[in-house]
Amino acid sequence: MRRNARTAFNKLTKMGVRVTERKRGNCHFVISAKDNNDCAFADYYDAVHYGGLAAARDCGVTREITDVLIAHGLMAEWINDSLVGVYETI
């Protein structure tokens, strides 16, 4: 995992986000939308529900996560309804 991704991974872990390394394709790690503690950090159905407004709502990923990813040159993209993949920004 690249240094910027490792730093973001560690920050998210300290925030209580459930993250797991993923060595498949160009995905650095995944964020679980299931089994969150007290707070849902990502909700696929929240993004789907808002349709065209999803971009304004960070596509179902909380602003706290999005801010950490952007600060480290990363972005989030849904893999399925329970996993968010983290990738380098293009």
Residue 21 is predicted with a pLDDT of 93
Could you tell me if 22 and 30 are in contact, meaning their C-beta atoms sit under 8 angstroms apart?
Answer: yes
- pLDDT score, position 22: 87
pLDDT at 13: 93
Confidence of residue 45 (pLDDT cuts 50, 70, 90): low
Tokens of 60: 């179902």
Q: Phi and psi dihedrals of 45, rounded to 5?
A: -70, -25
pLDDT-based confidence at residue 50 (cuts at 50, 70, 90): very low
- Helices (DSSP H) in 1-90: which residue ranges? 3-15, 44-49, 63-71
Model's pTM, two decimal places?
A: 0.79
Q: Which domain holds residue 32?
A: 3-88
Domain count, the chain: 1
The average pLDDT across 58-67 equals: 80
Q: What is the pLDDT of residues 3-37, one digit of tens each?
A: 999 999 999 999 988 899 988 888 999 998 876 55
